[in-house]
Structure 1
Amino acid sequence: MDKCNSFLDHQIDIPTKLFETFKTKPARKFKSNQVIYRQEEIAHNFYYLKEGIVQVFVNSSDGLEKILKIYKNGEVFGEASFFDGFPRMSSAKTLSDSEIITINKTDIMSYFQKEPFLALNFIELLSQKVRMLSNEIDNISFLSAEKRIAQYLISMNRYKNQPINCTHEDIGKSVGVSRITVSKTLKKFSNYEWICTRYKQIFILNKNSLLEFLDA
């Protein structure tokens, strides 16, 4: 059997009650590589990703792009600027054909009035994201390039029997290293039989070894 066809599953969901609430709204269909919102826009909505893949990124004044997060089915994005009222600090676009539900202030107030406990759910969700962001800052500061790449692969290893769809450049932009460093590291991990690579796809074969490498 091809080693690339079997690897472990990992997924972080939004609270179940929020998931059930948000998914009842009609979804809008987006084509792959379609912009959802742009950096500096005022946020009148946030979004629930019913189906597909969304990339959130920032552009510097000199045109460089930094990938902040990749979202998949069942996740919420774009909510920070929606709640603080400041212009968006990032942009978002689809990486595949997607179905996205738009949540506005009327929606969220209606949800909270009907079921106040949902507000607590949402605070929990935002707290998790703050914690994840803090961890990412620590990782950039203290982890080696190879460990940052290993952690990226683990974080993207969410769906059983499905590849991680990304390029070496995507990984480099996400973890702050060069494409050459990514290529060398992936080759090393492949030689260890921790991963298997194909064109724009990576399969995790031995997640435990990657985790042990991170803890070393």
Structure 2
Amino acid sequence: MNKWELFLGHKIGMPAELFEIFNTKPSQMFKNNQIIYRQGEIAENFYYLKEGKVQAFVNSLDGLEKILTIYKKGEIFGEASFFDGFPRMSSARTFSDSEIITITKADIIIYFQKEPLFALNFIELLSQKVRMLSNEIDNISFLSAEKRIAQYLLNKNLYTNFSIDCTHEDIGKAVGVSRITVSRILNKFSKHQWIYTKYRKILILNQNALLKLLES
């Protein structure tokens, strides 16, 4: 297994104890494309995604949007600013109809008082997320557009054995390139028979070829 397979195969999981606790709290339903919190707000709570998908993104001063990640069922989000006390550095919106549980400061203090080990679980979880974010920043800074898109597709493919649901614009926002560049590179991958594309869907045909591209 090469370094890219190790990196791409690594998923950040929430400790089982916290998973069980959060699932007992009341949840709130959010419609698709609904804003949960905005960049610059003070974080008075964080969130546990019981069902659905949530997209974290940032906006630059000139109005450009960059997708950071998509959270899925069983993940927490918005916790970094909650713990460090600084304004939120990103926004979050639902990427599908979603069921979300809000975790307050009072909640987390009770959990930590009952089970101090939960605090260590959170430190480990936050450390993993920081490491993943550092890798992403390095990739945006140093990888070519082709490699960024290949990595995006491979990461997405971790969550499904079927086609990847996304548009060229989605990919461009996620990896920091224009939609035109995405289209050109996907056409190249398609000609090599590494992927198969149709409307809003991409199917990976040759994962090894994409991994070799990342290694080159």
Q: Please report the TM-score for the alignment, with normalisation by the length of structure 2.
A: 0.89
2:186 matched residue in structure 1: 186
Identity level (%):
74
What amino acid is the match of 2:210?
Answer: L
Q: Which moved further from structure 2: 151-160 or 47-56? A: 151-160
Could you list the per-position Cα deviations for residues 175-200 of structure 1 after superposition, in whole angstroms to 9, with x for gaps in the alignment? 11111111111122222332222222
How far apart are the structure 2 equivalents of 1:114 and 1:45?
A: 19
Cα offset, 1:10, TM superposition: 7.8
How far apart are the structure 2 equivalents of 1:14 and 1:151?
A: 23
2:139 matched residue in structure 1: 139
Secondary structure at the aligned position of 1:86 is classed as coil
Contact 1:10/1:158 (<8 A) preserved: no
How far apart are the structure 2 equivalents of 1:197 and 1:81?
A: 38
How far apart are the structure 2 equivalents of 1:172 and 1:89?
A: 20
Secondary structure at the aligned position of 1:14 is classed as coil
Q: Please report the TM-score for the alignment, with normalisation by the length of structure 1.
A: 0.89
Q: Which moved further from structure 2: 14-23 or 175-184? A: 14-23
Q: Which moved further from structure 2: 141-150 or 197-206? A: 197-206
Q: How does 1:141-160 map to 2 (within 5 A)?
A: 141-160=141-160
Number of residue equivalences? 208
What amino acid is the match of 1:106?
Answer: A
Contact 1:11/1:159 (<8 A) preserved: no
What amino acid is the match of 1:190?
Answer: S
How far apart are the structure 2 equivalents of 1:157 and 1:72?
A: 14
Change in 2 beyond 3 A, CA 1:175/1:160: closer
2:75 matched residue in structure 1: 75
1:98 matched residue in structure 2: 98
Cα offset, 1:11, TM superposition: 4.8
Change in 2 beyond 3 A, CA 1:157/1:13: farther
1:41 matched residue in structure 2: 41
Q: Within the alignment, does 1:65 sit opposite 2:65 as a pair?
A: yes
What is the CA RMSD across the aligned residues, in angstroms? 1.7
Query: Which structure 1 residue ranges, 5 or more long, are not aligned?
Result: 1-8
Q: Within the alignment, does 1:203 sit opposite 2:203 as a pair?
A: yes
